[in-house]
A and B are shown apart, each in its own frame.
Chain A
Amino acid sequence: MKALLAYQTELLVRSQRWLPPLLLYVAFLGLGIQSGGPLLDALGYAAAALLPVTAWLVRICVGGEAAAARHCTAAAAGPWRVHLASVLTALLAACVLGAVATLYAVAVSDPHSSEGHVGVPVPQAAGAGLLAVIACALLGTAVGALCNRPVLSSTGLAVPSGMLAALLVLVAGGSPANAAVSGLVTGSHTGTVIMPWVPAVLSLAVAAAATAFACRQASRRS
């Protein structure tokens, strides 16, 4: 698995296909995070914007290998392991982006509530922000795994359904991503930090199930 991850990471980095989702994320952050704004709002924004970006990164990674090359890797390591490595590569890349964005939010935002002037403890806020980032990256991974090859192989179907799914997962009431982000944003009113433990664990379960399903399909639809 380490060898596959190294291979997939080099494919991703050298392909330069990460540039459009990175620019999209930077644009999101530039629009949503204002210097001196409330910290918890900024952290919620950084996490929410990461979800569609992660889904895009998964799309790039699962299509990073040419089909003939994928067959060779699959013979050597097993198709599901190859697919798992490509999904994990995207998740790791998204986590790196999210961590940098969290640091940026902490650096430029004002550690106070959005209403009144209640101080927000920075370490706890940063921790809650990271958990929310992880929850959103995991759900973005789930969306990416289900809305791309090998589950949905036609681009015409994969791209719109991926975008729609990412949007739905962000706004739907019961979604862990929504819970994690709105926990930060509502906490921002009063300056209370809510650790999104439950949303993070739920996201992990959803991402694991979705990825397992996609990996199972990897040897069934080639």
Chain B
Amino acid sequence: MKLAGVGRRYGLRKHWVLRGVDLSLPERSLVRVQGVNGSGKSTLLRLIAGIDAPSAGRISGRPPSAYVPERFPAAMPLTALGYLTHMGRVHGLRRDAAAGEAREWLERFGADAYARTPLAELSKGSSQKVVVAQALLARPRLLVLDEAWTGLDQNARTVLDRSVAERVAEGGTVVFVDHDPARLAGSPDVTYRVEGAAVREVAEHVPPGHGGVPATGPRVRIEAEGPPGVALPPELPGSPRTEQTSDGATVLTAPAPYSDALLRGLLAGHWHIRSVAVEEIPR
């Protein structure tokens, strides 16, 4: 997906919120967008999600998309399950598949008790779970998250972190904004900063404590052993760093949210897992 010379202003005589934005959002990538409040981050995200049309330039190659807003004060006369089932169908699932996925995602977020609760009666955190589930249930190729973690409890945040990693591992593109600089630390493939109506790439591997991007976050360390003479499966989730040990094993290190996806990738390639550990790297 590509943005070429994209600009957006809300009225002919208004100032440009964004101008001359050229971006390429490849498949299988996690993209972080930064910027101060009011810099145009949300506008950029809405353009990427296709909710908003650019006033100048063009956007091409947008895959099926899903979007999560920061707040979801949806006073609509539907139950959580009813809304999710409808959204599953809007995302292109069949009716029974939509209902099944809706139930499954509510369960995953620990919100299955609210399945029959009208949206208007849900707490802020529970309605945020519903809107996140809405975006994930059809496995979109493009996932756009505008501070989607806000209001979620710890379990739901972890589920969302892993789901983001899973979307990327399955070849999707995830674009996110979050006010917490440690969010998915070490995982983004590229970070962009919105400033003065322009978007520029933030240099990779910023030293910890600089530019607000921690270079690393918690990492998973997997010791694995392949069938004799077989190389590592290509394009492993999380682009793990690999090392050989003296006894013939391979040690893979990747951002922690990718741990499940990475293990699945290794097991699918008939690799044997010797050990899994999480490394907390001080920031």
Contact = CB atoms under 8 A, between A and B. Distances in A.
Please determine whether chains A and B interact with each other in the same assembly: yes
A31 interface: no
Contacts of A65: 74, 76
Given A69-B74, A72-B134, A78 B90 contact: no
B131 A68 contact: yes
Nearest to A222: B52
Interface stretch (B61-69, B219-227, B267-275): B61-69
Interface in A36-73: 64-66, 68-69, 71-73
B71 A68 contact: yes
B207 interface: no
Interface stretch (A3-11, A100-108, A159-167): A3-11
Contacts of B238: none
Contact of A11 (B76, B90, B134): B76
Given A75-B144, A222-B46, A69 B65 contact: no
A77 interface: yes
A198 B250 CA distance: 78
B19 interface: no
A79 B69 contact: no
A14 B119 CA distance: 12
A76 B91 contact: yes
Interface residues of B, number: 35
Contact of B77 (A3, A14, A219, A222): A14
Q: How big is the A interface, by class?
A: 20 to 34
B156 interface: no
A69 B91 contact: no
Interface in A204-222: 219-222
B17 to A, nearest CB: 12
Contact of A68 (B73, B90, B144): B73
B131 A72 contact: yes
B89 interface: yes
Interface in B72-101: 72-78, 82-83, 86-87, 89-92
B46 A71 contact: yes
Contacts of A69: 72, 74, 76, 83, 131
The 5 closest A-B pairs by CB, nearest first: A75-B67, A3-B89, A14-B77, A219-B53, A75-B49
8 contacts: A3-B90, A11-B76, A64-B76, A74-B50, A75-B65, A75-B144, A76-B87, A220-B52
Given A74-B67, A76-B140, 9 more contacts: A14-B77, A66-B72, A66-B73, A69-B76, A71-B69, A75-B51, A219-B52, A222-B46, A222-B51
